[in-house]
Structure 1
């Protein structure tokens, strides 16, 4: 479960704005980790604290791995790859390997959305996450989940 949350953090980071990817990954990871920890642990406070610490660390590491190249590849995948088809790439700088499989587009709240399954191999570890993204007016994509 935590790996999925970390990969979501990675995907959120690739489309975010002003802070560094590592900082964004760390802060989002801490928030998501605390939430998951509080919801799944017997001791809610202890679970939240442990989850926040793990999320912060993993979000920072993953945030550093995802860069502009990966962002462009994911955005291109969401914009052009047919539903059910898989786009793959290896980041030439980090060596991380990604497979993204978008689902059919749909409309919600006057926006075009696509769900996507992202599989990643980062530092020899396989991770898979399911996320949701919407298209911005400029053609870029923003992940919301």
Structure 2
């Protein structure tokens, strides 16, 4: 059980981190919930917590990743179609959250076309992200 506690703390911090994306947050929350359920239902509390954390993290990641795909698609369309400074807005149908994105001028980085984009969530928190077009012409947000 002593080894599980640091894992749970890490998962909780990951889920609450402002820099985590929805898939990472979903994994963290899923791991925490799964570990709790596993510890309460298994005879061997440590094994139950570990198994529950693994299953919960996987399920949370899958759900969170699906939400991310919709938002990433909207950002990609904004980067492809919008002029610099032109705002795009959308509402994620799964989460109900509203977003807007404003792209900056394109530039070259290591042979790829890239753009910075300011993403605002529900009219509040602003995130400055970088995206580059890959070999297939798809815009990918950079970490």
Secondary structure (helix, strand or coil) at the match of 1:93 reads: coil
Q: 1:120 maps to which residue? A: 121
Structure with greater contact order relative to length (CA < 8 Å, sep ≥ 6): 1
Which of 113, 133, 139 is the aligned partner of 1:141? 139
Structure 1 distance, partners of 2:18, 2:74, is 16
> What displacement does 1:8 show?
4.9
Answer yes or no: is the 8 Å Cα contact 1:7–1:128 preserved in 2.
Answer: no
Structure 2 distance, partners of 1:100, 1:90, is 12
- Normalising by the residue count of structure 1, what TM-score does the alignment of the two structures yield? 0.54
Does the alignment pair 1:130 with 2:128? yes
Number of residue pairs matched by the alignment: 98
> What displacement does 1:118 show?
0.4
Structure 2 distance, partners of 1:126, 1:26, is 24
Structure 2 residue runs of 5 or longer lacking an equivalent are: 1-16, 29-60
> What displacement does 1:68 show?
2.7
RMSD: 3.4
> What displacement does 1:22 show?
2.6
Structure 1 residue runs of 5 or longer lacking an equivalent are: 1-5, 11-20, 28-59
> What displacement does 1:65 show?
8.3
Answer yes or no: is the 8 Å Cα contact 2:67–2:94 preserved in 1.
Answer: no
- Normalising by the residue count of structure 2, what TM-score does the alignment of the two structures yield? 0.55
Secondary structure (helix, strand or coil) at the match of 1:66 reads: helix
Secondary structure (helix, strand or coil) at the match of 1:67 reads: helix
Q: 1:9 maps to which residue? A: 20
Answer yes or no: is the 8 Å Cα contact 2:23–2:68 preserved in 1.
Answer: no
Change (3 A) 1:7 1:23: closer
Answer yes or no: is the 8 Å Cα contact 1:8–1:129 preserved in 2.
Answer: no
